[in-house]
Amino acid sequence: MFSRELGFDLGTSIMHISQKDKGIILDEPEIIAIDKNKKEVVAVGEEAYDMLEKTPAHIIMNNPVKYGVVADFDNMGKLLKKQLKNLKVGKSLGNNVAIVSVPNDVSEVERKALYDLFIHSGFRFKKVYLIEKSVAAAIGAGIEILNPYGNMIVDIGGGTTEISVVSLGGIVISKLLKIGGNKFDEDIRSYIKRKYSLYIGKKSAEKIKKEVGYVLIDNNDIVTTKVVGRDVVTGLPKTVTVTNEDIYNALREDINIIVEAIKYILEKTPPELSADILETGLFLTGGSSLLKNLDQLITNETSLSINLVSAPKECVVNGIDSVLKNIDMYQDILSTSKRENKLK
């Protein structure tokens, strides 16, 4: 009987799915649109994202993952089934294997619920493995994770920032912050409302972040972009020009929290691993690590060199894909449900 080996990175903003020997087969927003009257799924992924902030009252938009953890298992199950059907991952296949990334600090109950989600998804996953997100990101960044050598990973995603020191295939110390790309978007919306008396949408905030999202400004270089929103006073549409200095001011507080958390982890890291980190530098991963000059800011604050990976947004799923190709070698870093262990 045929089988497929699939990897899942269920991020707060983006769902990534990879397939052994095919690489990434899905890279779409992790969002689902539901008709609350008909109780039907209207759209998922990119199609649902295009509908965001434009739907009538009976269409509900839902992001099943909050702060890196599945918060709505019912809608996550519907989203997962729909995307797997779109990818033509048929039910007729048997003995399917899934590797799913999870934050380091999730509880055993949350791990069990995630495991059950895949077992009961209707796609006959016989084996479901969980892998810590920071470990997967380290593998995706090209780190030899099984070696007795310390590496520091700062993974800035849509909902969370996870700062970890990894060695010998495991996490030595880590800290999870509920700060990520979505929080940055909210910071930008709030700042623009305060300064320009303008309401803007989530998509507009994300666009601004990508275009002029500077966290450090050198030599007073000013970059601008235009944004359209609704005037707070008149309620009429209005266009304003936003600068990179605006975004620097909007994000400064949350960026400082991330920098201070990096310093805290460095202070708590065992001396021998600290020596390794000083030699190799820090690895920045996650889509929100692409904020302009973030690497320079961290270097200024910590004196560490920064390793920029080639595909930071896909780093976790690329790491899972590497594990799929060498599952025997990485067996010790994968975990299964206690229930499954009893059934063996």
Q: How confident is the model at residue 8 (pLDDT cuts 50, 70, 90)?
A: very high
In 13-169 the beta strands, taken as DSSP E runs, fall at 14-19, 23-29, 32-35, 40-44, 59-62, 65-66, 69-70, 96-102, 125-132, 151-156, 161-167
Q: What is the pLDDT of residues 205-264, one digit of tens each?
A: 999 999 999 999 877 788 999 999 999 999 999 999 999 999 999 999 999 999 999 999
Give the pLDDT of residue 294. Answer: 96
Task: In whole angstroms, give the CA distance from residue 282 to residue 302.
Answer: 10
- Nearest CA among 86, 85, 83, 62 for reference residue 74: 62
Tokens for 312? 């930071």
Domain architecture of the chain: domains with CATH: 5-136+316-343 (3.30.420.40), 146-308 (3.30.420.40)
Record the pTM. 0.91
Q: Which residue has the tokens 């059907």?
A: 85
Q: How far apart are CA 124 and CA 327, in angstroms?
A: 19
**Residue 315's pLDDT band (boundaries 50, 70, 90)?**
very high
